[in-house]
Structure 1
């Protein structure tokens, strides 16, 4: 499932992958800003950190056991989603989209324009 989520993240316009924290943690950025961190563990250890609006983050945590406060991140603005098959891919894709869009909205207008072309 980690590979599926990685491919989805990298399909976003301007998305690039790096490993600044070591070989087990892929950081996906747009315009040099993180929108996802994939921890490539074994099976149940696989998880993804995603930026999230604080109100939505709380709701997601209440609704889904697989969604937790962001691991090693600002817990108000980041969620950790366990990639344990308890959530449908479409739900995780929607969370990835939300994270990407939050980051893009904060970028300078000229950078946003290059990502929307």
Structure 2
């Protein structure tokens, strides 16, 4: 999955909004002002490391986060995030597109599930 497909999929989530609170180089995807993903070139907009590849931060269940890191070398602890709860997926083509979509869906659901019931009511019917 390339960054354009990732961006389109992230924005396809109900009520998803794109923001740039960390500068123009880091795309932040929110649902009701709660971040569920970031997307940036290189090390979250700073280049270096896996330069040329886009990096996406996604919220993740801690046990699943560890398993995904064991399975996919391009899934690493969340860059500049709580490493227990977030993974960074380096979009280098090594993770199947369906798996990335599943990780995005899980990140979105984790954030929605932590919202108040009132906030969830406008989102859950669309899932």
The TM-score normalised by the length of structure 1 is 0.95
Tell me, in whole angstroms, the C-alpha distance in 1 between the residues paired with 2:105 and 2:35. Answer: 13
Unpaired runs of 5+ residues, structure 2, are none
Unpaired runs of 5+ residues, structure 1, are none
Higher helix share: 1
Tell me, in whole angstroms, the C-alpha distance in 1 between the residues paired with 2:53 and 2:22. Answer: 17
Tell me, in whole angstroms, the C-alpha distance in 2 between the residues paired with 1:112 and 1:40. Answer: 31
Aligned residue-pair number: 117
Q: 1:83 aligns with which of 77, 80, 91?
A: 91
Aligned to 1:64: 72
Tell me, in whole angstroms, the C-alpha distance in 2 between the residues paired with 1:37 and 1:57. Answer: 16
Is this contact kept in 2: 1:44–1:82, CA < 8 A?
no
Aligned to 2:102: 94
Alpha-carbon RMSD across the aligned residues, in angstroms, is 1.3
